[in-house]
Amino acid sequence: MAAAPQISFNALVVSLATTAAVHLGDVAETATGQKLPPNLEASGHMVDLLNVLAEKTRGNLTPDEQKFLTQVLYELRMRFIDAKKAADSDAATVAP
């Protein structure tokens, strides 16, 4: 039997970030193994959850945890902006 993954703050961040990545269409769902089309509302919700986590844990994280969370949030925000631009571009192309 495989060892259970280590429970840590960074593991929590990775879990939430992976869910955001699935909603952005970047990572396949574990249940189906398929990538879904981007769901900006759901991915934005996950980014918002990570932001709340950052706000509520400010001053209580190790420097490495803070750096990791900040980096993950930055990367997800940039990816969300790219996905939003792509969706807006696709909508403009389809509109009459």
pLDDT tens figures, 23-69: 999 887 778 888 888 999 999 999 999 999 999 999 999 999 999 99
Q: Alpha-carbon torsion 12, 46, 61, 72, what sign?
A: positive
DSSP 41-55: HHHHHHHHHHHHHHH
- pLDDT for the residue 43: 96
The pLDDT tens digits for 42-51 are 999 999 999 9
Mean predicted lDDT score pLDDT of the chain: 90
